[in-house]
Amino acid sequence: MARVLIAIPNDDFDPTETAVPWKVLRAAKHEVVFATQDGLPGECDYRLITGKGFGLLKPLLMANRDACFAYAAMAQSAEFRNPIEWKTVLRQDFDGLLLPGGHAFGVQPYLESQDLQQKTAEMFAANKPVAAICHGVLVAARALGPDGESLLYQRRTTALPKSMELSAWAATCLWLGDYYRTYPKTVEDEVTDVLAQVTQFDAGPRSLRRDSASDLSPGFTVRDRNWLSARWPGDAHRFAHEFVAMLGEQRGH
pLDDT, one tens digit per residue, over 38-53 is: 999 999 999 999 999 9
What is the average per-residue pLDDT within 123-132?
A: 97
Distant-in-sequence, close-in-space partners of 224: CB < 8 Å, separation ≥ 6: 155, 156, 157
What is the average per-residue pLDDT within 28-45?
A: 97
Note the pLDDT of residue 54: 94
In whole angstroms, what is the distance from residue 166 CA to residue 151 CA?
26
What is the CA angle 115-131-179, rounded to 5?
Answer: 75
Note the pLDDT of residue 30: 97
State the greatest distance between any 2 C-alpha atoms of the chain, in Å, as a whole number.
53
Name the β-bridge partners of 43: 11
pLDDT digits (tens, 9 = 90+) for 61-72: 999 999 999 999
| pLDDT at residue 253 tops 80 | no
Q: Could you give the 3-state DSSP secondary structure of residue 32?
A: strand
In whole angstroms, what is the distance from residue 215 CA to residue 218 CA?
7
pTM over 0.95: yes
Note the pLDDT of residue 252: 64
Contact between 248 and 30 (Cβ < 8 Å): no
In whole angstroms, what is the distance from residue 235 CA to residue 168 CA?
17
Nearest to 141 by CA among 104, 169, 111: 111
Which contacts (CB < 8 Å, 24+ apart) does range 188-192 have?
A: 188/159, 188/160, 188/161, 188/162, 189/162, 190/138, 190/141, 191/137, 191/138, 191/141, 191/152, 191/157, 191/159
| pLDDT at residue 1 tops 60 | yes
> Mean pLDDT score of the chain, rounded to an integer?
96
* Entry field: residues in the chain: 253
What is the average per-residue pLDDT within 89-98?
A: 95
pLDDT digits (tens, 9 = 90+) for 233-250: 999 999 999 999 999 998
* Residue 1, burial from CB neighbour count under 10 angstroms (0-12, 13-18, 19+): exposed
In whole angstroms, what is the distance from residue 31 CA to residue 40 CA?
19
What percent of the chain is predicted at pLDDT more than 70? 99
In whole angstroms, what is the distance from residue 35 CA to residue 138 CA?
17
pLDDT digits (tens, 9 = 90+) for 181-228: 999 999 999 999 999 999 999 999 999 999 999 999 999 999 999 999
Which band of pLDDT confidence, cut at 50, 70 and 90, is reported for residue 81? very high
